[in-house]
Amino acid sequence: MPDNLVHSADAASSAHDEHPPYLRHHFNSAEQQADASNFAMWLFLLTEVMFFGGLFTAYLIYRNWYFPAFVAGSHQLNVVWGATNTLVLILSSFTMAMGVWCAETRRRKGLVLCLSLTFILGLAFLGIKSVEYREKIEKHHVPGFHYSMQSFLDPQSDPEVYAEYHDKPLTPDMAVHTELYFSLYFLMTGMHALHMIIGIGILGFMILRARAGAYTAGHVTFVENFGLYWHFVDIIWIYLFALLYLISRHA
Amino acid sequence: MSSDTIVRLPDQATARIPKDNYLTRENGILSWLLTSDHKRIAILYLASITFFFFIGGALAGLIRLELLTPQSDLMATDTYNKVFTMHGVIMIFFFLVPSVPATLGNFLIPMMIGAKDLALPRINLLSWYLYMAGGLLALYTMAVGGVDTGWTFTTPLSTHYVNTNVLTTGLAVFVAGFSSIFTGLNFVVTIHKMRAPGMTWFRLPLFVWAHYAASILMVLATPVVAISIVLIALERTIGIGVFDPTKGGDPLLFQHLFWFYSHPAVYIMILPGMGVISEVISTFSRKRVFGYTAVAFSSVAIAVFGFFVWAHHMFIMGISNYAVLVFSLLTMLVAVPSAIKIFNWTFTLYKGSITFETPMLYTFGFMGLFTIGGLTGVFLGTSGTDIHLTETYFIVAHFHFVMVGGMLMAFLAGIHFWWPKITGRMYPEKISQLAAVVTFIGFNFTFFPQFILGTLGMPRRYASYPPEFQILNVFSTAGATILGVGYLLPVLYLVWSLKYGAVAGNNPWQATGLEWQTQSPPLTENFVEMPIMDHEAYDYEWLEKQEREKEKEVTSAG
């Protein structure tokens, strides 16, 4: 066993002689460097899971407690817009994955194209989200001083939603809790949107660098790690879509 | 184990401080502020942590002064609330959580595993800046009026009833939390990916195992406190209702989220300290740590169990009886790995060649005080006794035994133990032994009376108390004065030793870790060539052979 280890140490030091320019001084090989930063990214995503986990816990507890309010609240969401956004994000994940492939196979133009498409799709997602938010503002469904329970006390005052679900009116006690639903809705989608905005910012930066030829000369870690982040944000959305939009369709 | 019981420490008369080391490689303030060298970042942390420790200590002094008399006479009761809150916030988030990992862990983990640096050196520097940003924000909060919720930000007090600076304090903790997340993440990646050839998992020093377990906790638990602080801030500013009973929210949810971090956080604080103790005990008994594997896995077990006991902070907060039963049982389980550690350290001492240098004195302090702290934890984990003892000084004494008697002792043990490695110079032995003893005596005077006060029923968090409790409180305050001297002494003589201390040489303790097999202070890149680990951890026979060969070389060259 020690012989093997000595041998691997030799191998590592001979790899050191090649010295790609992006290799940082404290790593022995480019492989070790890429491994380490990939692993770090996965751990970072784990912290993100725990971060969102707090919100999901709150959502699940309150949904259990105030089931009718959460169902009625959920019926206010526009499934068509939500589904469109889900498609937009899945598509953007595809273009991102293609971007990583382009970087790995050293296709500069392809990489710039894929990153730009991802960028545009990300913006499209935020655009659609803002249309949805606007609808909530117009109906006074944003928690706070202007919050109105009208749609839940008297569902027929909201003809579009009523036509689809035929909700029975909630008692005032229960209708109060719809505000909690919308708090969680805005918190969770808002936190997700914040991650999207950060991601789009980084994408912009990457597009500029990729046009100058970065990432397509063998050092693709940054693109790969960003890809992981982007897919993660996508997955969070898929959970949000299921928990906020779909789960109460037939309740 | 060596059969030779006579300990031969190397002659330091010929030792010289090497001209090229991480301290002299670059000069100027920017070379420190923009460094990515883990050793320099550790020094930055050490300085800033010491600063915050003395601020938190001053606040503790104020608390003890106020409690000297039964009436609230030194300060207004509101001020007292702010003082103990800031004491808690600063000591926990800006001293205990980063204390050993960010200083000793940062300095030593790469060296112990034979790496040149942590895997993410710039993220490491970023964590220091985040820590400083959080710390300065906390100081700013204190300057503009402080906060009086207690360090736990208890809802609905923090969201609805107080007009103090909850938001800025929350932001300070949030920012410092990310510093802790990045430190933990960096350690996990480093320990996984940067080990030298031959450094298998079971050849890692136990210090590294303990940090690995603590890092897992930092990575998994800290984000949860981050989101709960975000929720507090939103509840306070725009009233989102998740913690507001009038809107159907539940303040208890905050308790669950908060303690889901803050209970594992106590293991984030204590585990690295336990790592220090393992190294010190082995070195000064000249014996491999008894039951290496058990001690290594007990760290991991503490980390795992630590995630499932948070509700024992909530026994009287209205959780169900079944929840109390389950969490009580799980809490008892944590005592098992902790006891494994204490027993194994004791067995390490058995038939060892023990000497009583300062780090060892602090370590003995740790073992005694941590055991008392841990056992009283079992009282508190039992729901019956907990209902009587919670919210009294018994709790205060319990966590100060674990955190101050345990963790701070371990921190001081570690600082003294690795001081020769960090600075290249020895601390003065006699006066530091005195400091260790003074600390131990002062500590017991301060906190032991509080166990009695607690059992008698003196509640915590009040500026005044019934006169019959005064004698024990006077004891406690007097003890705090002695303790203060005990903490001030090391600062004085350690600073003194930077210039006047005896030159240490590479391995003054004859310890086996890789960090001792290189020059002190180390080179910026730690090792001249990549070390290859061809022996087990704590292999004193290997070290002896190594030394003999070196001697042979010297004599044959001469």
CB–CB contact A50 B193 (8 Å): no
Is B238 within 8 Å of chain A by CB? yes
| pLDDT beyond 90 at B341 | yes
Q: Is the pLDDT of residue B14 over 90?
A: no
In the prediction, which pLDDT does A55 show? 95
Banded pLDDT at B8 (limits 50, 70, 90)? low
Residue B1 lies inside a defined structural domain of this protein: no
C-beta atoms of B231 and A58 within 8 A: yes
Which residues of B are less than 8 Å from A180 in CB distance?
241-242, 247-249
B248/A180 Cβ within 8 A = yes
Interface test with A, best of B224, B236, B526, B535 (most A CBs within 10 A): B224
CATH, residue A178? 1.20.120.80
CB B22 within 8 A of CB B40: yes
A6 confidence band (pLDDT: 50, 70, 90)? very low
The number of distinct structural domains making up chain B is 1
**A36: closest CA of chain B, how far (Å):** 6
Q: How many domains does chain A have?
A: 1
* B37 contacts chain A (CB < 8 A): no
CATH code at position B488: 1.20.210.10
Q: How far is B196 from chain A (nearest CA, A)?
A: 8
Between residues 373 and 432 of chain B, which touch chain A (CB distance below 8 Å)?
none
Q: What span, in angstroms and rounded, lies between the C-alpha atoms of B421 and B516?
A: 7
Task: Using CB atoms, pick whichever of B119, B196, B249 lies closest to residue A180.
Answer: B249
Helix B121-143 vs helix B77-89: crossing angle, to nearest 10: 180
Inter-chain residue contact B192 with A61, CB threshold 8 Å = no
The residue behind tokens 């184990």 is B1
* A97 inside domain: yes
pLDDT digits (tens, 9 = 90+) for A163-187: 888 889 999 999 999 999 999 999 9
**Does B48 reside within a domain?**
yes
Q: Which residues of A touch B (CB under 8 A)?
A: 2, 5-6, 8-9, 12-13, 24-26, 28, 32, 35-37, 39-40, 43-44, 46-48, 50-55, 57-58, 61-62, 65-66, 69, 143-144, 176-177, 179-180, 183-184, 186-187
In a domain, B550, yes or no: yes
Of B192, B227, B241, the CB nearest to A51: B227
Residues of B in contact with A24 (CB under 8 A): 121
The predicted structure's pLDDT at residue A9? 44
Q: Give the model's pLDDT for residue B29.
A: 92
**Is residue B1 pLDDT above 70, yes or no?**
no
Count of Cβ atoms closer than 10 Å to residue B242 Cβ: 29
CA distance to A123, A181, B250, B253, per residue, from B319 (Å): 45, 24, 12, 11
> Looking at residues B471-497, what average pLDDT do you find?
96
Contacts of B530 in chain A (CB under 8 A): 9, 12-13, 28
Nearest-angstrom CA–CA distance, B109 and B101: 9
Whole-number average pLDDT of chain B:
93
CB pair distance less than 8 Å for B241 and A183: yes
**What is the pTM (predicted TM-score) of this model?**
0.93
* Predicted confidence (pLDDT) at residue B88 exceeds the cutoff of 60: yes
Q: What is the structure's pLDDT at A18?
A: 58
CB contact under 8 A, A180 and B241: yes
Which chain A residues are closer than 8 Å to B222 by Cβ? 47
Q: Distance, in angstroms, between B192 CA and closest chain A CA?
A: 8
What are B278-317's pLDDT values in tens digits?
Answer: 999 999 999 999 999 999 999 999 999 999 999 999 999 9
Lowest mean pLDDT among A11-15, A184-188, B166-170, B400-404: A11-15
pLDDT category, A11, cuts 50, 70, 90?
very low
Q: Quick one: pLDDT at residue B376?
A: 95
pLDDT at A15 (0 to 100): 45
Residue B513 is predicted with a pLDDT of 93
CB spacing of B248 vs A37 below 8 angstroms: no
- B224, B228, B240, B262: best mutation site toward chain A, by most A Cβ within 10 Å? B240
Segment A27-55 mean pLDDT: 94
pLDDT for the residue B7: 61
**What pLDDT score does A7 carry?**
42
Predicted pLDDT of residue A180: 94
Residue A11, in any domain of the structure: no
pLDDT over 70, % of chain B = 97
**Domain interval for residue B345:** 29-557
Nearest chain A residue to B116 by CA distance is A26
Q: Which of B39, B41, B193 to mutate to test the interface with A (most CBs of A within 10 A)?
A: B193
Residue A16 pLDDT: 46
Whether B3 has a pLDDT exceeding 60, the answer reads no
Contact A36 B219 (CB under 8 A): no
What is the per-residue pLDDT for B113?
96
Say if residue A13's pLDDT is above 90: no
Nearest to A32 among B120, B193, B525 (CB): B193
* Assigned domain for B14 exists: no
Percent of chain B with pLDDT over 90: 89
Average pLDDT over all residues of chain A: 90
ipTM for this model: 0.91
* pLDDT at A250 (0 to 100): 79
A contacts of B224 (beta carbons < 8 Å)? 50-51, 53-54
Q: Which residues of A touch B256 (CB under 8 A)?
A: 57
Whether the pLDDT of residue B4 is over 50: the answer is no
Report DSSP letters for B476-496, one per residue: HHHHHHHHHHHHHHHHHHHHH
B524-548: per-residue pLDDT in tens?
A: 999 999 899 999 999 999 998 988 8
* Interface contact flag, A25 B248, Cβ < 8 Å: no
Q: What is the pLDDT of residues B251-285, one digit of tens each?
A: 999 999 999 999 999 999 999 999 999 999 999 99
| Residues β-bridged to residue B392 | B459
Rounding to the nearest 10 degrees, give the CA dihedral for residues B428, B432, B433, B437. Answer: 170
Residue of B nearest to A31 (CA): B193
Mean pLDDT score, B164-185 = 96
Does residue B18 sit within a domain? no
Least confident of A2-6, A81-85, B88-92: A2-6
pLDDT > 60? residue B60: yes
Q: What is the 3-state secondary structure (H, E, C) of chain A?
A: CHHHHHHHHHHHHHHHHHCCCCCCCCCCCHHHHHHHHHHHHHHHHHHHHHHHHHHHHHHHHHHHHCHHHHHHHHHCCCHHHHHHHHHHHHHHHHHHHHHHHHHHCCCHHHHHHHHHHHHHHHHHHHHHHHHHHHHHHHCCCCCCCCCCCHHHHCHHHCHHHHHHHCCCCCCHHHHHCHHHHHHHHHHHHHHHHHHHHHHHHHHHHHHHHHHCCCCCCCCCHHHHHHHHHHHHHHHHHHHHHHHHHHCCCCC
Instruction: Determine whether the interchain pair B231/A65 forms a contact, defined as Cβ–Cβ distance below 8 Å.
Output: no
Say yes or no to pLDDT of B244 above 80. Answer: yes
Mean pLDDT score, A125-143: 95
- Of A8, A177, A186, Cβ closest to residue B197: A8
- Name which of B106, B135, B113 is nearest B36 in CA terms: B106
* B247 domain residue, yes or no: yes
Q: How confident is the model at residue A20 (pLDDT cuts 50, 70, 90)?
A: confident
Which domain covers residue A81, as residue numbers? 29-245
Do residues B152 and B82 touch, judged by C-beta distance below 8 A? no
Is residue B434, in this structure, part of any structural domain at all? yes
Measured between CA atoms, how close is A7 to chain B, in angstroms? Answer: 9
- Tell me if B345 is assigned to some domain: yes
Mean pLDDT of A216-220: 87
Q: Which amino acid is at B135?
A: G
pLDDT tens digits along B414-458: 999 999 999 999 999 999 999 999 999 999 999 999 999 999 999
